[in-house]
Amino acid sequence: MSRTLVLVRHGQSEWNLKNLFTGWRDPDLTEKGVEEARAGGRRLKEAGLHFDVAFTSALSRAQRTLKLVLEEVGQTGLTTYADAALNERDYGDLSGLNKDDARAKWGEEQVHVWRRSYDVPPPGGESLRDTGARVWPYYIHRIQPEVLRGGTVIVAAHGNSLRALVMALEGLSGEEIVARELATGVPIVYRLNADSTVASKDVLEG
């Protein structure tokens, strides 16, 4: 019984590079992001992981990351489900803005609160708690059953949608999870107990 769950944050996107709030906007990966995804795939192959099913968001940077990872693993035809429940946090009125321009408009302290608080959303957008409210049910009903029946499952998504999953898996508080950084393209491998708790965790860094 494998009961393995792998989480991968998408590789660097064009808007990450430009220091823009991305959210539900849909920029592609940079060349560096492509290589980050491929490197993550190579580390998964070296670890001997073979997947039964994949999940990703409705956004192309996560989908392309998954595609590149699976190419490296040698599983290009893997059954894959894409759903907006796994999308990045919606930054609302901040989407598309340079982070420095946002600080000039609203003030550094306010932008910091929007970025790093657990439950304060930016105007027209989602807080991390709001993001979790759509990620957690999808995980419980769609992803977790695949893992608990003994499967090896990969999820390629975004910094904040994956933070919501990590928060639930590791039992973290709101304060703890907003301080947690997830590196782009670096797989996190969880092995679960039969009761869905975490038995082990490995971060496959280069």
10 catalytic, yes or no? Answer: yes
**pTM of the predicted model, to two decimals?**
0.96
> Which of 60-74 are b and which e, b meaning 16 or more Cβ less than 10 Å from the residue's Cβ?
bbbbbbbbbbbebbe
Tell me if residue 168 falls in helix, strand or coil: helix
In this structure, CATH architecture of domain 4-89+127-203: 3-Layer(aba) Sandwich (3.40)
pLDDT for res 40: 98
Residue type, 58: A
Mean pLDDT of the chain: 96
- Please write the tens of the pLDDT for every residue from 120-178: 999 999 999 999 999 999 999 999 999 999 999 999 999 999 999 999 999 999 999 99
Backbone angles phi and psi of 95, in degrees to 5: -60, 130
In which region does residue 49 sit, left (phi positive, over 0), alpha (psi from -120 to 50) or beta (all else)?
beta
Taking residues 65-76, what's their average pLDDT? 98
Those residues whose C-beta lies under 8 Å from the C-beta of residue 37, and which sit 6 or more positions away, are 8, 10, 11, 29, 64, 65, 68, 69, 185
Q: How do beta strands 4-9 and 152-157 pair?
A: parallel
Which of 88, 126, 146, 158 is the catalytic position?
A: 88
Domain range summary for the chain, segments of one domain joined by +: 4-89+127-203
Residue of 49, 48, 63 lying closest to 11 (CA atoms):
63
The pLDDT-based confidence of 1 (bands split at 50, 70, 90) is: confident
- Please write the tens of the pLDDT for every residue from 91-120: 999 999 999 999 999 999 999 999 999 999
Q: Quote the distance between the C-alpha of residue 140 and its chain's center.
A: 16
Whose tokens are 């973290």? That residue is 172
88 catalytic, yes or no? Answer: yes
CA distance 5 to 156: 11
Angle at 52 between CA 51 and CA 55, to 5 degrees: 85
pLDDT for res 43: 98
Which of 10, 36, 146, 158 is the catalytic position?
A: 10
Q: Is the pLDDT of residue 206 over 90?
A: no
Residue type, 63: Q
